[in-house]
Amino acid sequence: MNEMTLQNLGLPLKALFTGYLLAIGLGLLMAGGQIMLTHGMADGKPGLSVDDIVYSYYGDRSGSKLESKLNGSMKDNAPPEVRLDIIKWVRNGATQAEWDTHFKDVFAQNCTMCHSVMPGIPDFTKFDDVKKAAAINEGASIQLLTRVSHIHLFGIAFIFFFVGWIFSYATGFSPLVKAGLIFFPFAFLIIDIASWWLTKFNPNFAVLVIIGGFGYSLASTVMIFSSLYQMWFLKSPR
């Protein structure tokens, strides 16, 4: 009996594996785009940098999260004079008296079209939520890191398991190289998640977040493209 390889799979299994790999590949591209649109704009400049990671996880402790967003990813959502007005109010203590007489209307005109209906973000129709956002920006909270960490560890590990399982039937790689490619995404995933927590307490670890994310993306890409190539373009030995 011939050894099971990607080249000699039957058409139904090739269709199953191909559909899965294409969907996962597209999902990884969408995840990369989402990172660029969120973390990648944390410092107000396009592209992911170490500063973006520091702002996202450690925070900008020289100012509030609200000020950081107004100078960063939310910069284009309000006129400059409005942003300056809000920032001055925040730096002066964000008092409720000024909220009731002026800033409640300012937020209603510029912010609440999103910050009142979208789940998971502060409700800026409420002073208490605005006050929390006006506090010193200490980056991601422990509660958020705990929730996102376990979701990523469970969900992405399943993705890597099936990608690695399909790739395990590839040929042309030494056992050591194949084992390394299968194991690397899990190792880099752990580095990625651990570096979130380390960066939360020490910004010098921010570069590890980029290394972890790049590492598991590269290893997954090699496995996905190698598997697709061998299933559809590499001839089965007779």
Structural domain ending residue among the three candidates 133, 156, 190: 133
Residue 153 pLDDT more than 90? yes
224 and 161 in a single domain? The answer is: yes
Instruction: Check residue 67 and give its pLDDT.
Output: 85
Instruction: Quick: pLDDT tens for 112-121.
Output: 888 888 877 8
In this prediction, what percent of the chain has a pLDDT beyond 70?
96
91 and 15 in a single domain? The answer is: no
Residue 22 pLDDT more than 80? yes
50 in a structural domain: no
28 and 88 in a single domain? The answer is: no
153 and 126 in a single domain? The answer is: no
Instruction: Check residue 237 and give its pLDDT.
Output: 58
Residue 40 pLDDT more than 80? no
16 and 129 in a single domain? The answer is: no
Instruction: Check residue 130 and give its pLDDT.
Output: 92
Residue 138 pLDDT more than 70? yes
Count, residues in the chain: 238
152 in a structural domain: yes
145 and 99 in a single domain? The answer is: no
215 in a structural domain: yes
Contacts by 185-189, CB closer than 8 A, 24 or more apart: 185/160, 185/215, 185/216, 185/219, 185/220, 186/157, 186/160, 186/216, 187/215, 188/212, 188/213, 188/214, 188/215, 188/216, 188/219, 189/152, 189/153, 189/156, 189/157, 189/160, 189/216
- φ/ψ of 46, rounded to 5, equals -65, 150
Instruction: Check residue 166 and give its pLDDT.
Output: 97
- Quick one: angle between helices 206-232 and 175-201, nearest 10? 150
Q: Which two tokens stand for residue 7?
A: 């080249």
Select the more confidently predicted residue: 237 or 37. 37
Structural domain ending residue among the three candidates 133, 158, 178: 133
In this prediction, what percent of the chain has a pLDDT beyond 90?
64
CB-CB contact of 53 with 38 (8 Å): no
127 closest CA partner among 63, 38, 66? 66
Select the more confidently predicted residue: 168 or 35. 168
- Model confidence at 61, pLDDT cuts 50, 70, 90, reads confident
Instruction: Check residue 60 and give its pLDDT.
Output: 78
49 in a structural domain: no
- Model confidence at 66, pLDDT cuts 50, 70, 90, reads confident
- Model confidence at 223, pLDDT cuts 50, 70, 90, reads very high
Mean pLDDT computed over every residue of the chain: 90
**CB under 8 Å to 140, separation ≥6 — which residues?**
56, 57, 59, 148, 196, 200
The count of structural domains within the chain is 2
238 in a structural domain: no
69 and 25 in a single domain? The answer is: no
129 and 150 in a single domain? The answer is: no
Residue 238 pLDDT more than 60? no
70 and 145 in a single domain? The answer is: no
- For 87, the domain range is 60-133
Instruction: Check residue 20 and give its pLDDT.
Output: 97
Max Cα–Cα distance, the chain, nearest Å: 82
Instruction: Check residue 164 and give its pLDDT.
Output: 97
- Model confidence at 76, pLDDT cuts 50, 70, 90, reads confident
**CB under 8 Å to 198, separation ≥6 — which residues?**
205, 208
145 and 119 in a single domain? The answer is: no
6 in a structural domain: no
Q: H-helix or E-strand containing 57?
A: none
Select the more confidently predicted residue: 38 or 128. 128
Q: Which two tokens stand for residue 36?
A: 């660029």
Structural domain ending residue among the three candidates 81, 116, 133: 133
